[in-house]
Amino acid sequence: MKNFSTLIQCRRSTRRFTEELLTPEQTASILKAALMAPSSKNKRPCQFIVVEDKKMLEQLATCKPHGAGFLAGCALAVVVVANVMESDVWIEDASIASIYMQLQAEDLGLGSCWCQIRNRQDAEEQDAAQHVRALLHIPYQLEVLSIIGFGHKARANSPLDESQLPWEKVHIGEYQLPNTQEV
């Protein structure tokens, strides 16, 4: 187990996985993290569709032309959906649940990557969310935010380089305009 600072420094997107499957305990830990994520007014509008079937993973990987291909090679994908009638901030709630799962995976030594679905289109320029909804029989009141792919890392990721952090994005006390003057 890593301490939290190390965990967030080491979590990098993993898009290449080994063939090894996750244990039921690993999958349960990831789902537990999703279910423990906070939500606005504690409304908990999110639901999670667990996909381990290789053929379905391959089909999900075609939900958009770029950035979804890695899903075909992962051991587990969790499709994060939310009921838009239950919360007006379902995007925030579903995003927090998504990253909670990614951090839990890292803590287990597993790799993960976020596949963006909301506001994306498939190869036919149809809504990627609709593509996923049709594959998994998701009812219309549930919007699809993301698919998070998990698996054993094919190779270790390099941790984020602390010396490269964009500190200019941090403003102390009040917003500071960027200094555009040449010196």
Ligand X SMILES: Cc1cc2nc3c(=O)[nH]c(=O)nc-3n(C[C@H](O)[C@H](O)[C@H](O)COP(=O)(O)O)c2cc1C
Q: Tell me how many residues contact ligand X (CB under 6 A).
A: 9
Q: Which of residues 34-93 bind ligand X (CB under 6 A)?
A: 67, 70
Alpha helices, H only, 87-145? 90-107, 128-136
Check binding of 121 to ligand X (CB under 6 A): no
DSSP string, 18-31: -SPPPPHHHHHHHH
Binding letters toward ligand X, positions 122-161, x by CB under 6 A: ----------------------------------------
Among 81, 23, 76, 15, which Cα is nearest to 51's?
A: 76
Question: What minimum distance in Å lies between the beta carbon of 168 and ligand X?
Answer: 18
Question: What minimum distance in Å lies between the beta carbon of 112 and ligand X?
Answer: 9
**CA-based R_g, the chain, Å:** 18
Binding segment for ligand X among 8-16, 24-32, 75-83, 131-139 (CB under 6 A)?
Answer: 8-16
Residue among 167 and 175 whose Cβ is closer to ligand X? 167
CB 115 within 8 A of CB 76: no
CB 70 within 8 A of CB 116: no
Binding segment for ligand X among 49-57, 75-83, 109-117, 163-171 (CB under 6 A)?
Answer: 109-117
Q: What DSSP state is assigned to residue 72?
A: G
Torsion of CA 4, 79, 31, 84, to 10 degrees: 90
Neighbours of 121 (CB within 10 A): 15
Binding segment for ligand X among 36-44, 71-79, 108-116, 167-175 (CB under 6 A)?
Answer: 108-116
Residue among 25 and 161 whose Cβ is closer to ligand X? 161
- Residues found near ligand X in the complex (CB under 6 A): 12-13, 15, 67, 70, 113-116
